[in-house]
Structure 1
């Protein structure tokens, strides 16, 4: 059975078992997918006024370094990850993904 990986070099592949290589590839793919999803955001409703398909603009950064958005309908600001698990943390999403 040929053992290959998109992310590992040949020396590392030679030192690992097939299931370990598959697990590492799966983990790296999951991290890359998570990073791609975090780079884009879409809100169906404004989290403050409830407007359907709000017009949102970037509005600076919070003290934690998270991107802030402003709804053009109600002029209120909120953090990109509002309503998610990382909302109350003072770390950005990338730091939590790698811990």
Structure 2
């Protein structure tokens, strides 16, 4: 069982920090998944995120044709998106369904 992420229905749940030292491996492993049904990205377990994590989110957004909603974004993600002027690139849902 993978503890870094899992897919439940239309939601990709990420439990790993999205930082430079982890993103390349995560991107490779997530890239092997069928994401065709995914429309939500749950980041409630993410404790650390940097610009490499933002790049991974943008890549996922592009692969999913812009239909990605981020569930429970960490506060520092919201801050980074503001600093990079990327707030409009993602739909942020503060509360999980």
Choose between structure 1 and 2: higher helix proportion: 2
Question: TM-score category by the smaller chain?
Answer: under 0.3
Max Rg structure? 1
> So what's the TM-score if we normalise by structure 2?
0.21
User: Taking CA–CA contacts closer than 8 Å with sequence separation of 6 or more, which of the two structures ends up with the larger relative contact order?
Assistant: 2
